[in-house]
Structure 1
Amino acid sequence: MPTQATDIAAHYRRAITDGDLRPGDRMPTVRETAERFGVATATVSRAYAMLKAEGLTAPRARVGTVVADRPRVVVTGAERLERLNRTGKTTSEGETTSDHWAGLRSCADPEICRLLGVEPHAEIVIRRRVFRKDGRPTAVALSLIDMRALADVPELLTEGKLEPFWQHTYTERTGRTITRSPELYGARLASSDELRALEIDVPEGAAVPVLVLRNVHHDDDGPIEVWEDVQAPGTWKEASA
């Protein structure tokens, strides 16, 4: 099938998301991209128009088209996993993690219990970290994991980054592949712990709404992990093209 404008836009969208193209970097000219993909310049122009409309690129005098500075756009858990599988990178350019914690807790959230398929107040593994972009907190990320995974990956209780990614270790040791359900979106008020982690200073008792993204992961025996990302106020999630 011939390369379409949407294919070219998707290529550069991934490059920007993965950090291969950083804010301020010059985009290839229309002619350069046309030669690279073997398409007409009109096709590239349509692709570039898509990227500009999404706010991913912007014109700059005497330079041309550059990658736009967009620090408040959400990178979701699903997108991080896709990037990890494509590139091996756990974070994008300028992104770091901090405040890592791991432990066992009783699951008191009825919705998490339902998604994991466990009884209320059953013990689960929790891994917590804060994602930062250029030093600023952008999300509190939780991995809520069924206890059965602990038998094969006891490293889950180790604080700090797990390298390789624990799901890859689980698959290597058990032969079971983990798959992901469609991402779930919602909103609620941030807890006091989340406000502290996101370094948001508001009066005690203030209501601060936050965007919450969840991904449910399964193996052959059912749900095994729920990812929950609580995004800092003021961030946006782009709709998929």
Structure 2
Amino acid sequence: MRAEAAPYQQIAAEIRRSIESGKLRPGERAPSTRALVRDHGIAMATATKVLATLQQEGLVHSRPGVGTVVGPPPRLSATQQRAPEPSLSREEVVRSAIAIADGEGLAALSMRRVATDLGVSTMALYRYVGGKDALVLQMVETAVGDFPFPAKRPTSWREGIETAARLQWSAYRAHLWLPAAISLSRPQVLPNLLVHTDAVLRAVSGFGVDASTSLYAAITVFGYVRGVALNLEPEARAEQDTGMTADEWSGHQTDQLVALIGQHDLAGFRALDFGSFEFDYDLDQLFEFGLGIMLDGLAVKLQRMRAPLR
């Protein structure tokens, strides 16, 4: 039985039919990513992939200052080719790069690709962001900065860490490439990342532990959130490729799993009664569940090491 087309493919097919039927005519604006998110209830990354698919087919193209419009990109005349390149800002370059990474992954990002989307030469980008490595750093800084801390300070150590962790999770949720772009062992020295580390350091300061313990606590929190978030992009791409959610995929494995449980006498699994038990696999729930366990354990550890919780 043929698997159902992934959501982005279904939406792309719908827009393709509108273009082929003349409902959307050349030069008219195609639905924006925000409109696709609103109208179809999909993630921004999925909406970006819809337009990327149509652009690869030559059905739409990006027009600076306008958005995505119907039709292939126009062929430039010799005079136009010699015309001065449009003026850009660093913010425009970084946002364009983020849009590419959101829709197609960080592997699809290149200086040439960003330049093409912005309608400038590749060399022109170096005036704004330097090379690709420097661009990725600015993408990380911008993506994290889009989820600022609330002005009101947390009232407890636990709320302080929960706030930092959930903001990081939200950033990872919005930008699936982001967890892999940030290093745990060699953290990038970026202002918006340092704010997150500082928030955890302030939270654990009330325990009166030494500096090394405080830093290990901050790294542990960051490592936990990033570790779970590293599963977001592979899961999203698997869902797009197969047209099945994680729960639907697991449902297709039930018979095989039940057979293996009996064959190898896996008592722990057998106690779950997989024949009738339906597990709702959700990464958001997993994140919250693990965050609670981590903070419970961190409180006990820090209390034992030094001062009582205040």
- Which category describes the TM-score, using the shorter chain as reference length? under 0.3
User: TM-score scaled by structure 2?
Assistant: 0.22
Structure number having the greater strand percentage: 1
Structure number having the greater helix percentage: 2
